[in-house]
Structure 1
């Protein structure tokens, strides 16, 4: 079996991904076989929501008073069942394995639903589930014993100083539980918070019968997992070179899902399902590689991948080989995300059209601050902003319109009740700017709960990573060989060998995105952003242009020096990708579940920065714009 590479299909990148991929891969097996289908359903947003649901379900079972934070629905990701059900017959027929981290905060309940679904169809598909990611008892025990203060990895604060009470804690598990379940005979493995790439690590580990000591192979599988974990992000989704996709044979309306081929020695080729849209190129792979990393060291519970020498090779149409991945042992700790009830939030919108948008926005903000003053001392957040801009001399009214947004948070629902927020906001209309118009959907102005999220580290020895299969519970031990890393990754403020930018010749003031690709994403309160170019001389220009100080200037008002915690910037280079990567610490406020920004996932930071103007060498423009 293991004489050929394992073929692992990436069939879901989030809870909101399209749900046809599992069935499509399974049906296509005779002409395009895959060994394992993996699905990533977890994010910090749905983790916090599911944690609250699970906590309230437990309280309800104990006849506790209902809490307004209680949301409808299960504490696992039900959309996985929608994706799985139509695939079951073909999965059974072709013996394709499936690993999915859709269990969220109630993996056992998801396991029971999958078993019932399989049984009702009369199929022989053995199912296992993984536990151990729910670690709040371990956190509380360590606090009581004084063995850890659980420092926040973003702010440096300790947990005892957090003003919120944790209700749940997800630990990020590695992939060896999945490998063990497959080895025992499971065909479908459902997990909670295993790390995004862990299903690929576990699948390759099982298939090739690797050992924990084979760090190079594990690191390559980890990178392969990172490349396909977000499904079509590696085939053209969220790709700054997206315009070229429109003119491909299959167009851009139905991007194909990816496949990672991993050999016994760890060699990787990224491809995609046959006869589907999208592309797999050096640049789509560079885009996904630069997403969500935080420096040259990329951590998983099973291995640390070292990325600064990685490079890609186009070995065929829609086939990219991965080279240069180095390996170190995993850290002794694993990441943990704690959820707490944060409070309530509400927002409302006005439309600003035509001339004088900035003045109209300033007038509206002044009026609303005055109207909200009797109540805003109870708000924990109150922010105003303009989304977009009005196009000059627009030929239609929509193009001439920008959106004014007012956003507020408070600890108690009553402190942000309609009479204290929404009513004063809409009552302002008759004294407003010319054309004053508010959005008639008032539902966003009604208080709704939000959650706070705290990220820390827990010793892997405190995690009860367990496989449940066929009536047997198997404990997955933590790694015995680990490496303790510095709290901050290496940062290089400027290029090592400085080059005078004038050597690149005459320039034209243009958006940097005219010739530079970029990709960004969120990790808690941090936002990362990688920039890369197509040619070596462009890279010499890029790495000399983009110093830490220059990127702060390009961030503009987003680099708010008054913010607490302080925004900091780390930088490192990936020369073989012709890339420069930045980590913007605390740029996203408190992270996706609670931030006041509309770019709560950090994905538009790259596009904002690509639109910032710099002096672009004219000689690069003759090669064609992106």
Structure 2
């Protein structure tokens, strides 16, 4: 690497935020403008469970097959344009995916060097698991790129590692460059979910549409990353969506907790991030400070928890509560001979009085059961529900008859020392380069909360939805959920920081009332971040609640009414 190469910005794009994201995104990113590196994030907690089940059926499986199909269309294009590709699509079998990419390249006649990163698989330590993988950092990716790899596939690395690895290779960063690495972590966190940084799932989407913006086909994001760790988040010219301080703030808050955002390479201080609009569809990210990473690595352990089944009874017209009570009594009696271990009822009042259609006159009563025994949740539940067809409440019917029951997973976070994993970069020629653990680590302490700003002076208020002045984005981390709430003016933050306390949050989100809720202030982002522990039970695969990944928890919060100062409205 020459000094000229190191001094120019590194343009890193993203073409996938999850396994199943837009298939054409890889081609769109390769043809839409200049790039140095194209990344793809294919893994999530639920994905690891899915890939684990795939591998049970076929030991050669365990990776994201979509990635291979995308490369079949785009490998030659990436080679012609000199764009390196880095993706965690290897899942549970990065070596298998690397071999499959080499076979594809040979068949296409495209001369590329393919490397992979391994060492994350800790299944032998947790033999009762379906998958157990440590979250590795970016220095294995960096080693592959420094040795000339054109394609690097990994297993379970942190989402941000897809950016820290290429950045470390390009700029020559080492493990001690904490501030620079932290800047790359923030860039990686903004890019990792694809179009969520370019207007997808954005709280203020309708404002953009009404101003003439196009959200039908948002472009995917890219970062112009500089040697000092600062970056500009943008997208290819002419693509849909938008990049502004709001979209970047929303993604920064997604699936985070407090001021410290810890990873295996560095701990990034989110309370130091500064965002400024740097022109149309350009947001400058600077000021990010980094600290030594924690002394342990997170390990995601996925286990099969048992089987689940559900049925939704449709209750139409009058006496909805009485109809629900009757069928609940009948089902409880029918299941009493072999009761499932876990039974949950939810009455969803979608009905309205004097409704103009049958559908809007109907409510849904959901019954969800779980048990280790598939027969208990399958044939037993199905028989009990179907046998009530002519013997229950008037108008009895269900959305669909229950099936035989499906397996569900349980996710658990555990932690191991850095030295417990054999982090290795496996090069295109078979050489293996060990990647040492971080030389310096620091135990994570809570960051003292900054004092809230001065409150707004008293004045007239209106009882109105929080979402009129605040945006939100929510997501899952294991069994916990986070809700990031931000506003767009200093005055609004002065009100929000005093009004939206933990007690008020509990009032607005009643299911959090008996759970531990933590609030974190991020004044430079004009944001509050709430973490609700245990609201998702044993994780997304367990489907503990109606919205198992808490994707819409923030939008529910925005719909709740508060007394908002008229000056903010």
Shorter-chain TM-score: which interval? over 0.9
Q: CA deviation at 1:246?
A: 2.6
Match 2:416 to one of 450, 454, 458: 458
Among candidates 490, 512, 529, match of residue 559 of structure 1: 512
Matches within 5 A, 1:224-243: 224-243=187-206
1:22 shift after superposition: 1.2
Matched, 1:27 2:31: yes
Aligned partner of 1:435 in structure 2 is: 395
TM-score by length of 2: 0.95
The equivalent of 1:330 in structure 2 is: 293
SS of equivalent to 1:12: coil
Equivalent residues in 2 for 1:123-142 (5 A)? 123-138=110-125
Residue matched to 1:2: 6
Which residue among 618, 622, 625 is the counterpart of 2:566?
Answer: 618
Does structure 1 retain, via aligned residues, the 8 Å contact 2:200–2:215? Answer: no
Q: Where does residue 289 of structure 1 map in the other structure?
A: 252
Q: Is 1:99 aligned to 2:86, yes or no? A: yes
TM-superposed deviation, 1:208: 1.1
Deviates more, 1:237-246 or 1:38-47: 237-246
Structure 1 stretches (4+) deviating beyond 6 angstroms?
none
Distance 2:204 2:555 in 1: 11
- Residue 239 of structure 1 deviates from its aligned partner by 1.2
Do the aligned partners of residues 361 and 235 (structure 1) sit closer, same or farther apart at CA in structure 2, a change above 3 Å counting?
farther
The whole-number CA distance in structure 2 between the counterparts of 1:495 and 1:555 is 25
Report the number of matched residues. 564
Q: 1:564 corresponds to which residue? A: none
Structure 1 residue runs without a partner (length 5+): 59-72, 141-164, 562-566, 622-626
Deviation string 1:165-208 (CA, Å, 9 cap, x unpaired) is 32431110101111110110110001110111111110111111
Give 1:132-171 correspondences, 5 Å limit.
132-138=119-125, 165-171=128-134
Query: Is the partner of 1:451 in helix, strand or coil?
Result: strand
Q: Counterparts in 2 of 1:496-575, with a 5 A limit?
A: 496=452, 499=455, 503-556=457-510, 558-559=511-512, 561=514, 567-575=515-523
Q: Distance in 2 between matches of 1:221 and 1:77?
A: 25
Spell out, residue by residue over 1:354-400, the C-alpha distance to the aligned partner (whole angstroms, 9 max, x if none): 45544443443333222222221xx2221111346224554444344
Corresponding residue for residue 586 of structure 1: 534
Which has the higher mean CA deviation after the structures are superposed, 420-429 or 354-363?
354-363
Q: 1:203 aligns with which of 157, 163, 166?
A: 166
Counting only pairs closer than 5 Å after superposition, residues 592-607 of structure 1 correspond to structure 2 as: 592-607=540-555
Give the Cα separation in 2 of the matches to 1:357 and 1:412: 32
Cα pair 1:138 1:462 within 8 Å, conserved:
no
State the TM-score, normalized to the length of structure 1. 0.86
Residues 454 and 494 of structure 2 are in contact (CA less than 8 Å); yes or no, is this contact kept in structure 1? no
Aligned to 2:280: 317
CA distance in 1, matches of 2:538, 2:156: 20
Classify 1:600/1:491 alpha carbon distance in 2 versus 1 (closer, same or farther; 3 Å): farther
Report the 3-state secondary structure (helix = DSSP H, G, I; strand = E; otherwise coil) of the residue aligned with 1:445: coil
RMSD of equivalent CA atoms: 2.0
Give the match for residue 329 of structure 2.
Answer: 366
Pair 1:234–1:35, CA change in 2 (3 A): same
Kept in 2: contact 1:426–1:438 (CA 8 A): no
SS in 2 for 1:421: helix
Shift of 1:605: 1.0
Paired residues of 2:342 and 2:369 also in contact (CA < 8 A)? yes
Task: Identify if the C-alpha distance between structure 1 residues 388 and 99 changes in structure 2 by more than 3 Å, giving closer, same or farther.
Answer: farther
Aligned pairs for 1:174-213 within 5 A: 174-213=137-176
Please give the secondary structure, in 2, of the residue aligned with 1:23: helix
Shift of the 300–388 alpha-carbon distance from structure 1 to 2, 3 Å rule, reads farther
- CA deviation after TM superposition for structure 1 residue 437, in Å: 1.8
CA contact (8 A) 2:506 2:513 kept: no
Q: Any stretches of 5+ residues in structure 2 without a counterpart?
A: none
| 1:294-324 Cα deviation digits (max 9, x unpaired) | 1111011100001113221001000001123
1:211-226 to 2 correspondences below 5 Å: 211-226=174-189
Report the equivalent of 2:39: 38
Picking from 257, 260, 263, the partner of 2:220 is: 257
Whether 2:237 is the aligned partner of 1:274: answer yes
CA distance in 2, matches of 1:350, 1:326: 53
In the aligned structure 2, how far is the partner of 1:93 from the partner of 1:109?
25
Report the CA distance between 1:536 and its aligned residue.
1.2
Q: Distance in 1 between matches of 2:533 and 2:331?
A: 31
Aligned partner (choices 311, 335, 338) of residue 375 of structure 1: 338
What is the distance in 2 between the residues matched to 1:614 and 1:495? 23
Q: Residues 512 and 392 from structure 1, CA distance in 2 versus in 1: closer, same or farther, beyond 3 angstroms? A: farther
Report SS of the residue matched to 2:6: coil
Which of residues 373, 377, 382 in structure 2 aligns to 1:416? Answer: 377
